[in-house]
Structure 1
């Protein structure tokens, strides 16, 4: 008889964990191998001798270490741990980042009940799995269609800025003009405007005021 597929669940909301465990337990060939409430607990659990799970259901936003850091840990360890991301965020940039970090699947929390069992079985067999809404985003990107801006954690968007972009952001917040920023960084006026346009797009804001609000929030000034 084939062994059951073991699943570890990680989310910072106990009520969601309990709901997922209840769904998983309805399937005879699935079993739950513990749960974690923080990213650090996830890593500690998998690092403990004797602990193993075929599938890790992983939330992105958790205390101590977020889902990205957990994925990076497995990547550094050269582990082939099969991970399914379960998230309330549906921004294509978030999905792309998890794919780059080795996740096998991505499910929106709003569709978890419908997809979680199918996702576990698919990923356990070595295949990828995405809930319908995420599949739609990936298909639109492949066909060149316009992709709507989805929800994403603000700190993730900020961390996607390059060091030079963050420096330009700091000067924008200090009310430097484009010319003054160019002189300060020894770059051209055109280069500064290019940085500004990229930041507006990355952070999904419309003006220098929006940029300044991000800078204040993340204490770059």
Structure 2
């Protein structure tokens, strides 16, 4: 039996809360257990509702989303946190992720990504919506002469994130450097590496690099 995922929403606009709740309610094992309209009550509301996942607007009245995250970090995270924001500034995103947040969505892509984001962070995975993920990767590989900007057909079993990891490995980034560049944990990087090796039937990192070169993901 699939365990229910208890979700708390924090936004100062009830119409946005209603819209997100309507989307989340289409998933059988999602349960929206409450909402907050200002930042000062979020921590206690999450505790009282025993939420597994918090979807938090960064622009909250009285105490903004960043202050709420700092409170969570100081007191111990009682749940997984997904930030919902109009901002796509990479410095801000890195700062928030470094504090312990595991998901980040722009409001423009929330409708397409919120369900997948909740499912991912509830399992302990980090999640970025597509526009943010692409912006982070583009910044990580900026001006690298070995990056092939043309995206050829690759193994359909590979996710977009796994392709990015393959490229960075082939560009000689260490696991720690990949973690820092993509704003994800080293454990997540290692999990991706193991999944990639399994999908490619590669015995080691050399096999991953060969795959990147043979499929023109990087320029040799």
The reply on whether 1:55 has 2:53 as its aligned counterpart is: yes
The reply on whether 1:142 has 2:140 as its aligned counterpart is: yes
CA deviations over 1:133-153 (Å, ceiling 9, x no partner): 10012102211359xxxxxxx
Aligned residue for 2:109, secondary structure, equals: helix
Q: What pairs with 1:50-129 in structure 2 (closer than 5 Å)?
A: 51-79=49-77, 81-129=79-127
- Match of residue 29 from structure 2: 29
Q: 1:47 and 1:111 mapped to 2: Cα distance?
A: 28
Superposed displacement of residue 100, structure 1: 1.4
Q: Runs (4+) of structure 1 moved beyond 3 Å?
A: none
CA deviations over 1:122-167 (Å, ceiling 9, x no partner): 1111101100110012102211359xxxxxxxxxxxxxxxxxxxxx
- Number of residue pairs matched? 144
Unmatched runs of 5 consecutive residues or more in structure 2: 145-220
Contact 2:9–2:36 at 8 Å: present in 1 too? Answer: yes
- Match of residue 129 from structure 2: 131
TM-score (norm 1): 0.62
TM-score (norm 2): 0.63
For the pair shown, the structure with the greater C-alpha radius of gyration is: 1
Unmatched runs of 5 consecutive residues or more in structure 1: 147-221
- Most deviating of 21-30 and 90-99: 90-99
Aligned-residue CA RMSD in angstroms? 1.5
- Match of residue 218 from structure 1: none
